[in-house]
Amino acid sequence: MATAPKRKANEPAAASSSQDLVNDQASGRRQEQKVYTFNNEPKQATAAKDDKTKPQKTILEEHGIILGKVIGTGNYAKVKIGFSEEYNKRVAVKIISKVKAPTEYTQKFLPREIEAVKGLHHENLITFYQSIETSHRVYLIMQLAENGTLLDYVREKKFLDEPQARTLFRQLISAVEYIHSKNVVHRDIKCENLLLDENWNLKLIDFGFARKDTKTSDNQVVLSKTFCGSYAYASPEILKGKALHTILLCLMSGLVVWSAMLWSSVVYPTMVPMFTSC
């Protein structure tokens, strides 16, 4: 268990008003939803017939989820704290706008991420509970990491002492070793994609760029020729356009995380994120 000086935890999320709850009902009838649960069994969820004597529930309320405050935002997604009645605990709800998100993301990277996380279960990976898809949004229901990202933690602390950094790095290696054993390559390991739970244990998230390792007919791993993620965490070979073994991609990214924890710096600090078709 990683330890750190006590700091103020997130305040409990208050039950939000009806304005805070996401309602995808364009009419009195509920839209068809695609729901995937942690046991990997997809199921179709549709609403019952209209009941004019009772107020319609929102899609998330239908699944026993009450939304609270926003804890993260992006160009086409935001993350809110929620409470799951099914699991009787707080969860993280990632809300992705299918209207704002690029088509390539909604049709390629997002389905790939959902497919990847459904089959992964490890103590240093964020637990995925379910996804709910409507005509306008996709909701990803996941474990809530109470202490935020590793990036924010390092910025607050300036740097981590070596024992704590070593513990977190060991947990990262354990997570990466596990997903590689499942023939999955993450390809976007960085401090922003590493969260800290209530016990200061590391959790790897965001499998949007993940993919299955491909092999030749003689069982040799096909070298990676494309680049995903951030320049700051990329290997020199990839920056030079050279093919590289996928395991070495993760190794280089992990070493940059190690550097960031100990010295609060990365190898290529002036580089900006770049994404290509992966």
Binding-site residue set for ATP: 94
Rounded Cα distance, 258 and 152, in Å: 15
Active-site position among 50, 51, 188, 218? 188
b/e burial code for range 43-71 (CB count within 10 A of at least 16 → b): eeeebeeeeeeeebebbbbbbebbbbeeb
Binding residues: 94
Phi/psi at 268 (5° precision): -120, 75
Rounded Cα distance, 45 and 25, in Å: 14
In the numeric block, the tokens 């590391």 are attached to: 202
Rounded Cα distance, 115 and 129, in Å: 12
188 is catalytic: yes
Active-site residue numbers? 188
